[in-house]
């Protein structure tokens, strides 16, 4: 049995699109950044923390946990999910005025089917290029509310698809789960 330790409908949709059977069982992990933590390390740590919280609740299962972060460069902080409309506006202005930004999704599989837990961790980083936004375009996007509960304040699979001019890497990692890499890791554990 595969358990998705996430409330993200996007992650669930991606797994369903691949024909994977799973149960949803979200956990409430501490997602605060540590001082000086690089964004990919942050995503990996949070994904591991989510999986670790789910392990005792699901003996005999394989747990999948993930975390996505957006950042402008490795020296800067993870940009996270905007708390309100103003934060989303500031964030989207920064992303759309930069030549590129990056999205890392880290995932962890914890296999509790044996006498000891087997851990598999991976992370995938994608470069995203976004066009400059006119004030009315930004306002319309903010009015849509799509920015809520999304790393970087946008969902590439929704209205924001028209803001993105290109990507280098995994599209599904930007959505929230690098599906090809997850399927490979599930095969390694003889789950898929």
101-111 and 62-71 as β-strands: parallel, antiparallel, unpaired?
Answer: antiparallel
User: How far is it, in rounded angstroms, from Cα 130 to Cα 94?
Assistant: 10
CA distances to 21, 149, 166 from 6, rounded to whole Å, are: 15, 13, 28
Q: Is 67 a catalytic residue?
A: yes
Nearest partner of 173 among 106, 115, 83, 94, judged by Cα: 106
> What are the structure tokens assigned to 106, written together?
């880290």
From the candidates 28, 67, 73, 143, give the one annotated as an active-site residue: 67
Q: Is the dihedral of CA 168, 149, 181, 109 positive or negative?
A: positive
**DSSP track, 123-164:** EEEEEEEE----HHHHHHHHHHTTTTT-GGG--TTTGGGGTE
Partners of residue 105 on adjacent β-strands: 68, 124
> What are the structure tokens assigned to 60, written together?
């005999």
**Catalytic residue annotation:** 67
């Amino acid at each position: 049995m595969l358990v998705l330790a996430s409330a993200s409908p996007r992650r669930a949709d991606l797994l369903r699109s691949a024909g994977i059977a799973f149960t949803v069982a979200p956990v409430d992990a501490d997602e605060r950044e540590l001082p000086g933590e690089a964004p990919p390390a942050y995503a990996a740590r949070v994904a591991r923390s989510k999986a670790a919280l789910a392990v005792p609740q699901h003996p005999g299962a394989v747990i999948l946990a993930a975390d996505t972060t957006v950042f402008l460069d490795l020296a800067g902080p993870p940009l996270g999910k905007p708390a309100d409309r103003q934060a989303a506006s500031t964030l989207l202005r920064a992303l759309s005025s930069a030549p590129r930004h990056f999205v890392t999704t880290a995932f962890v599989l914890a296999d509790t089917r044996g006498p000891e837990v087997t851990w598999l961790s991976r992370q995938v980083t994608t470069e995203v290029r976004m066009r400059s936004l006119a004030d009315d375009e930004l306002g319309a996007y903010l009015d849509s509310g799509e920015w809520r509960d999304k790393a970087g304040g946008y969902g590439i699979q929704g209205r924001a698809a028209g803001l993105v001019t290109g990507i280098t890497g995994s599209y599904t990692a930007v959505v929230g789960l690098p599906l090809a890499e997850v399927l490979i890791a599930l095969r390694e554990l003889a789950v898929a």
